Amino acid sequence: MVVAGLADWLTGHLGFDPLTGVTTFDWLATPTQTLAEVTGGAVFHDGLRQLHQARQALAWYPDDVWRYVLACQWRRISQEEAFVGRCGEAGDDLGSAIVTARLTRDLVRLCLLMNRVYPPYGKWLGSAFARLPCAGVLTPVLTAALAATGWHDRERHLTRAYGTIADLHNELGLTDWVEPTARPFHDRPFQVLDADRFTTALTDTITGPKLHARPLTGALDQSIDNTDALGDRARGPALANALDVADLPDAPGPESGRA
């Protein structure tokens, strides 16, 4: 058991006190697992309602920050979506399977972000995804992609998943409509979504000029997945600085987001 004042506990756990405000730097420097821990779970007593206020402040990303992390998640997918086939064509079936697993993880995290759920760390990622409305459709498709024994089958299942998730993006209404169907990867015999189209559509809607211009490295845990690094909140700001998160303006609260 630990006895601590709320401000000290929040600062120790998050690296900042949300009761005094949350900056864009704070949002991007804080792993989603940490945000999930603070905003979730049972509260047995909160007499001063300060924990409730802190949770409300961290309930979800401000609108521009949400669009930015979504754009960065689509960028991650765009960078590897062709490699399922390219590895297979090169005779590297293991490599193709590894890329498929990486893409599946990124798609699951994308779905959570689209549904305003902070993605937890690996142990709980599938459990959190299973609670989403889209899980009933996507779980068998992603499972089939992971179980496939050839790159053509992996590509076919992933392409189906891409289309479903692209439709979900369009349903959010955050951007102009984006064509959700797969297409050839340049003149190569691979089917991809060309996911960077969704990245561009989202970044075009970010109103803050500094955040709009920021490199698409994303929040801290979109660039780093080392457990020791993400779990050390004293180290998090230094890592975030190295990823060029510093000196961003404060973001408006969730209540100021677009309808």
- The one-character DSSP state at 248 is P
Tokens 């590897």 belong to which residue?
A: 80
Residue 218 has φ and ψ, to the nearest 5°, of 85, -170
Beta bridge partners of 191: 184
Q: Does the pLDDT at position 237 exceed 70?
A: yes
Write the DSSP assignment of 200-223 as a string of letters.
HHHHTT---HHHHHS-TT-SHHHH
Tokens 């949400």 belong to which residue?
A: 66
- Of 78, 77, 87, 102, nearest to 151 by C-alpha is 87
Q: What pLDDT, in 10s, does the model give residues 60-77?
A: 999 999 999 999 999 999
Average pLDDT of the segment spanning 150-177: 98
pLDDT at 247: 56
Amino acid (one-letter) located at 14: L
Question: What does the block give as tokens for 29?
Answer: 């420097």
b/e for 207-216, b at 16 or more Cβ within 10 A? ebeebeebeb
Q: Which residue has the higher pLDDT, 112 or 243?
A: 112
| Residue ranges of E strands in the chain | 183-184, 191-192
Dist CA 21 CA 253 (whole Å): 9
- H helices, E strands: number in the chain: 15, 2
Q: What pLDDT, in 10s, does the model give residues 170-207?
A: 999 999 999 999 999 988 889 999 999 999 999 999 99
pLDDT at 81: 97
What number of CA atoms fall less than 13 Å from residue 60's CA on the CB side?
Answer: 15
Dist CA 240 CA 255 (whole Å): 26
When pLDDT is cut at 50, 70 and 90, the band that residue 101 belongs to is very high
Q: Which residue has the higher pLDDT, 229 or 93?
A: 93
Q: Does the pLDDT at position 20 exceed 90?
A: yes
pTM above 0.85, yes or no: yes
- Of 54, 4, 1, 3, nearest to 30 by C-alpha is 54
Dist CA 185 CA 193 (whole Å): 9
Residue 183 has φ and ψ, to the nearest 5°, of -155, 165
